[in-house]
Amino acid sequence: MGPFITDVPKSVLQDVILKLPTKSIIMCKSVCKTWHSLISDPVFAKLHFAQAEAYPMVRPMDRRSVSRNLYLVEPEDSSGFDLNDHDCNRSRVHMNLSKYKFPLCHAEELLDYHRNGNVMPSHETEREVHMKITQIDDNNNEVDFGDAIAYMLPYDHNKYNLVNSCNGLLCLSDFFVNYPAAVCNPITGEFINLPHGPKHEKAMTLIGSGLGFSPRTNEYKVVRILKEQAPDPYKVVEIHTLGTGSWKSVETAPCSDSELSFPTWVKGMLYWFCYDWTCVSVISFDLDTEEFQSVPSLPFQEGGSDVSMGDLGGRLCLCKTDCFEINVWVMNDSGPQKLWMKKISIRTGFSGRWPHGVYIPMKYFENDGLLMFNSRLNAFFYYHPGNHSPFIYLKLRGMKKYSSSEAISHVPSFISLKDILVGKDVEILNINSRCAVLKLPGETEALSLVEEKPVRYASDSWEE
């Protein structure tokens, strides 16, 4: 009759649980009241976040619909993604893909649809489903989305787009107009709906948005950049501080008319990649001063669609794919001036043997390894310059409904939204309690990550 596991000192138990994968920590909350209390403590959440690492978070999608499922890709043990090139270890490339969910957009409509006795359509009948949906935009005008979804399931109206990640929180936008609409923590299951933005005299179009954190004010802010629908458009920046009930306009945006991509938060700054037919650039917005800041000229001249941007080890990074190589630059901000420095240059060999597309850096390792993601191929690529075979190819399997996927670098967090919101009158909702009985098509599917050997590249995909 030895000692019970609950007799382990709290400090020792806490250190052990902090080293577990995120999904295992969630499961530990159900072991006993003692463990539940320890993991639910805000002190534990802060300790966990202080040592948490960024991992890829994947979402299945295609050109006309998105999944409500999210998959956090974590290692099964402390070795992480530091993979070796020894044959005896190649079969030990094991990752945990733990499933989480987005909240439902326009949940009441879906609940009413369900209460009226309607049955979820199958994938085979999705093209026969028609539903007229209208929405009121920020100018108080009715927008008809009926034609846009004539060949979609009505439930795509109840899903969000993913904007970006910041400190364990995800910024979500409306599926059709792409305006920021919610912020959620997929690990805790909490989310809040954002208030409607201010009305404008003229019709405005969203060209960029993102969520960031201001270290000086200790506030989370959602930023959106709008432009007039005119030949010489006027651009305005609006900010919403989480926990407040309104948006405010701060200044005009010094960016082009093109849509901004890859919103990335790094060290109190929000960055966007801007590409048009004349130039490529990066713009930055300081969340402390709420002003735009200058960014050094890009380390390459040509634009193109095969460029990505993100956070690599706490630094802004750019990744550009050319015919024979993949180059990664990081921004060095430790000196008096910000500078672009080339971090990695990967020789891919003949273009006919290597798939093109956007490679998004996910994680950089202390041993100089790099994990990237290619959305068109639904695959991760692990690269290490010192290995005999420098590339390891990890393919996502199990996506029956969706043809591609998107991935972002995300730091899992157990910090509750109620501990970071500024105001006290904001309703915090729970993903798992609302509409828990509803299962949208595809929600029961599960992904897996399989190591495969890449073969000759042909057309737009690898032959397998």
* Per-residue pLDDT reduced to its tens digit, 263-312: 999 999 999 998 876 678 899 999 999 999 888 888 887 666 688 999 99
The tokens for 370 are 């790099």
Check: CB of residue 208 under 8 Å from CB of residue 259: yes
Question: Which backbone phi and psi does 248 adopt, to 5 degrees?
Answer: -135, 145
Cβ-based neighbour number of residue 354 at 10 Å = 20
User: Is residue 154 a contact partner of residue 65, using CB atoms and an 8 Å limit?
Assistant: no
Q: pLDDT, tens digit, for every residue of 221-231?
A: 999 998 887 76
Specify the pLDDT at position 86. 41
Distance CA 363, CA 73 (A): 12
Average pLDDT over residues 82-91: 46
> What pLDDT band is residue 184 in, cutting at 50, 70 and 90?
very high
Across 81-108, b (16+ Cβ under 10 Å) vs e yields bebeeeeeeeeebebbbbebbbbbbeee
Query: What pLDDT does residue 328 have?
Result: 93
Lowest mean per-residue pLDDT among 43-52, 165-174, 337-346, 430-439 = 430-439
Least confident of 6-15, 76-85, 90-99, 366-375: 76-85
CATH fold of 52-462, please? Methylamine Dehydrogenase; Chain H (2.130.10)
Over residues 354-384, the pLDDT tens digits come to 777 789 999 888 777 889 998 878 888 888 8
What would the pLDDT profile of 399-447 be if each residue is shown by its tens digit?
777 778 899 999 999 999 999 987 667 888 888 776 666 666 666 677 7
The CATH architecture that domain 1-51 belongs to is Up-down Bundle (1.20)
**Phi, psi for residue 428 in degrees, rounded to 5:** -95, 120
What's the whole-number average pLDDT of the chain?
79
**Rounded distance between C-alpha atoms, residue 86 and residue 269, angstroms:** 41
In this structure, of 239-248, 254-263, 264-273, the range with the lowest mean pLDDT score is 254-263
In whole angstroms, give the CA distance from residue 382 to residue 372. Answer: 6
- Sketch the domain layout of the chain as residue ranges: 1-51, 52-462
CA distance 351 to 355: 7
What pLDDT sits at residue 127?
35
**In the predicted model, is pLDDT for residue 147 greater than 50?**
no
pLDDT recorded at residue 352: 55
